[in-house]
Structure 1
């Protein structure tokens, strides 16, 4: 029997029901951790990034996988990198990227149509692994939008796999959590012992660094070639994320001391791949899972999409589709990419609370003192699914709830949609607009043209996390991440 991530989240919810909004528990090897779902406490923690940083264990593993990019750095380094990167993720840029999103989404649709025509069963249905296809299309999208690099993953069977494509696939593939991984996570010294997995990751990182270094050099040359005299933020022709980042970093209004060096820019390459690939592919997969289990919601969404006169909508047009918007919000609430996160106090502090608690001496308090080094767990799933905040139906997939939200959810610190799915404050996900718009584009193309249902029992789909939470088949965990669907084209 496998241990499911959902079991851990249910246990956390049971603890919250039993012990209240704020409590401490003992984790591995006697480590004390503070858990809080108190919205006032969460607002305080997430709005004070100087006082509360990612834990060393999380940063170490992120650093080994991604380098010292935006997801790794803290303090002044984070502020510097985010300031330079922010223009690349603005509304204007996402509007331009939407053309790429829809182009690739429609290519995926066409491939599925061809597969149905070629190999479908007598009833006209085709079984396919939707997650594998979503991984391909989102990698193609981040290749073009992120680096102006054509992975052609959707057409990988046509020829030799691209080396960068293979490197990314290796880095973010996993089947089961192995003892060696757990030892490396818990004991920093264990990371010095090479494993088969660590050697594969190191080899993949060398490929990403080599290809990334060349891309950066080429894009720098393009910036300087197109600039006349000094570099301005409007000079570079390339509109991909990396070109926009390099242009912003070389702009004359950035002092030399605040610029990112080549190593820091290079570290954003795997960071972009995670933010623009893993988050969206899993998000759309969980959306298809939810819609497959709720045919009425699937039909309502399809009816809205079929009324639209074009298969190449703009960002504004995608955002005008109210039920599509509600579906995406509900999916990201129930199936947040990351189920929980941690912060470590880097100084003594007093955290204010909305809800008082009773300490071990029986004294009621509305604040809690933390000492330097204390670890705080932020249970994202528990907050996103809290019946106290969202109502008794909080665990149900119900897009209609977004028409009239409970007042209590407005207290959740959030950069988007009153949920913690993209966190809040200066460390909130910088690419949330990119991810949400890409999700809408893919769902537009898929749901508009296909009816679908699960090819296995819904109880057999479980969630496991490697960077983000992916779907697995419980009875076949060893096969890796997958979401088997039965699809058929919409009639008429």
Structure 2
């Protein structure tokens, strides 16, 4: 009885009190937001706020409408009446990104959702741990390292070309599901990356635990060939192809107390598979390193200070992050590119003419970089159809955000800066900014590769944070040394496929949408008639070359 009175009851009371404080604090911040004086749209839904309007809009016209009505900076209603600051103001964005390490972190809700699927990798951690992981991973993504990966990009693109050629030969309608083949191909690329790029290997596995230049992330997923190892490919297809979210999925991401609820079996099985393969890769690397240490006198990095190396858990968390970085973003962007080719036959023909002038099926990085129209095409695809449509941040301390364009609040007061409180949610609408007529001119909504090289001055300034730097959250986090594996791989794929096939849409144009389901991050073209799988069927016609 004394134990109950002296220990259990006090602990229970403290726990309940703490939980109530969290709930009351959360409700107070939602019902009485600090920036409630900012203009913004009305709240149409108590649970989802304005998010339904955003998810139903596949063109960014909703954000454009709000920006025209309320200005470059306004307030939005999020889930459960959360107060969100939305800004397209370049000065404000510069400030937010500049102080992303110290003040503006990814929101807890986003981090929890990513962590549940991918673990505590580079996309999740913040602060000193984030700096350490970036420092270790950074050397893998420099221009020299990406150049070394070009051969793999091209080889796997040729394999995808042959795979699709076999598919249409077996099919009477010559159709392929674009995203399915691209996802398999890009997963195979990630698996082979450590095979040809020693610095990539070193950054991924060796600097983390062992100092040996020939061990790394080297795993043949056999996704295109359908071999035994393609189980991971099927797991990824299940995860990224399944967008039916339940109420439990919603509760887990929004509320801490629900985060230990059992996960969706599809996600749980995929995560278990990634963990198992990751452990196999790590143990293989260690075993080879032990052998090499004995033979070559190499030194393990176990004696390094903790802040200079990753733990095994940190290493394992990077593996699914790499899967997403080299797999889903490139696949999504290239699917958008192929859809655009079906809608702009003149662009398709002009690209094919440029690419067929290259006298090899296996171009080097220099040869790919020397194709101006291909470069302009890729940039324009990423401008109009960024796979990640917005970036979310949350202030971890009070701050003052400067504004380039003043805001007139609901009381008629002109604001040249915003005082934000700790916990303030912020959204940067990338897709809307990439179509902003103030930045890109009156033809901002048109697909026009020719704009590159003579884009307006405002757009030139924006590019630092815009179409190249923010086109993917994953690329934003991983490409830190000036290279861009996603766009380089995309060029290699398009080079190979456009030389081999003519692309036509296999469904009516009206059947295609870029709508993004409410709790899904990536935006890609899909046929509404093929939902919920989000497929895009395309007809391929082999190109006949004149000798």
Give TM-score scaled by structure 1 length.
Answer: 0.88
- Deviation of 1:276 after TM superposition, in Å, equals 0.4
In 2, distance between residues paired with 1:357 and 1:425?
Answer: 31
Match of 1:148 in 2: 218
Of residues 205, 223, 231 in structure 1, which corresponds to 2:271? 205
Larger CA deviation: 66-75 vs 351-360: 351-360
Can you give the 5+ residue segments of structure 1 that lack an aligned partner in the other structure?
A: 232-246
Select between 379-388 and 429-438 the one with higher mean Cα deviation: 429-438
Q: Report Cα offsets for 1:176-207 as digits up to 9, x if no partner.
A: 34333233333333333335xx2322222122
Give the structure 2 partner of residue 28 of structure 1: 79
> Using a 3 Å threshold, how does the CA distance of structure 1 residues 230 and 161 change in structure 2: closer, same or farther?
closer
Matches within 5 A, 1:153-164: 153-156=223-226, 160=228, 162-164=230-232
Structure 1 residue 100: Cα displacement: 0.8
Task: Choose which of 111, 119, 123 in structure 2 pairs with 1:67.
Answer: 119
Structure-2 separation of matches of 1:104 and 1:285: 16
Give the number of equivalent residue pairs.
Answer: 464
Is residue 2:544 matched to residue 1:476?
A: no
1:405 aligns with 2:458: no
Partners of 2:469 and 2:476 within 8 A in 1? no
Relative to structure 1, the CA distance from residue 60 to residue 265 in structure 2 (aligned partners, 3 Å threshold; closer, same or farther) is same
Is 1:263 the counterpart of 2:316? The answer is no
TM-score when normalising by structure 2? 0.80
How many Å separate the matches in 1 of 2:140 and 2:130? 16
Please point out which of 173, 190, 193 is paired with 2:241: 173
* 1:37 corresponds to which of 61, 78, 88: 88
The whole-number CA distance in structure 2 between the counterparts of 1:174 and 1:461 is 18
CA distance in 1, matches of 2:136, 2:465: 19
Partners of 1:137 and 1:366 in 2: CA distance: 49
Q: Mark the CA change 1:413 to 1:447 in structure 2 (over 3 Å): closer, same or farther.
A: closer
**2:396–2:422 contact (8 Å) kept in structure 1:** yes
Superposed counterparts of 1:333-372, under 5 Å: 333-372=383-422
Give deviations 1:32-53, integer Å, cap 9, x for gaps: 1111000010010011011000
Cα distance, 1:365 vs structure 2:
2.2
Aligned twin of 2:136: 84
- Cα distance between partner residues in 1 of 2:171 and 2:258: 48
Q: CA deviation at 1:423?
A: 6.3
Change (3 A) 1:462 1:138: same
The 8 Å contact of residues 47 and 425 in structure 1, kept in 2 or not, is answered as: no
Counterpart Cα distance in 2 of 1:155 and 1:110 = 11
Q: Do structure 1's residue 439 and structure 2's residue 486 form an aligned pair?
A: no
Equivalent residue for 2:24?
none
Q: Report deviation, 1:94.
A: 1.1
CA contact (8 A) 2:106 2:394 kept: yes
Does structure 2 conserve the Cα–Cα contact (< 8 Å) formed by 1:336 and 1:381? Answer: yes
Q: How far apart are the structure 2 equivalents of 1:363 and 1:424?
A: 38
Deviation at 1:27, TM superposition (A): 2.3
Unaligned 5+ residue runs, structure 2? 1-51, 195-216
- Say which of 352, 355, 360 aligns to 1:305: 355
Instruction: Write the distance in 2 (CA, Å) between the matches of 1:23 and 1:33.
Output: 9
Residue in 2 that maps onto 1:243:
none
The answer (yes or no) to whether the contact 2:75–2:83 under 8 Å persists in 1 is: yes
**Greater C-alpha Rg:** 2
* CA shift in 2, pair 1:6/1:458, >3 Å: farther
Equivalents in 2 of 1:428, 1:72: separation in Å? 12
Tell me the secondary structure at the aligned position of residue 342 of structure 2: helix
**How far, CA to CA, are the matches of 1:214 and 1:161 in structure 2?**
13
1:214 Cα offset (Å): 1.6
d(CA) in 2 for partners of 1:305 and 1:5?
Answer: 37
State whether residues 511 and 527 of structure 2, in contact with CA within 8 Å, keep that contact through their aligned partners in structure 1.
yes
CA contact (8 A) 1:130 1:285 kept: yes
Compute the RMSD of aligned alpha carbons.
Answer: 2.4
Residue from 173, 177, 180 that aligns with 1:129: 177
The equivalent of 1:242 in structure 2 is: none
> Are the equivalent residues in 1 in contact too, given 2:391–2:427 (CA < 8 A)?
yes
Which secondary structure state, in structure 2, belongs to the residue aligned with residue 468 of structure 1?
Answer: coil
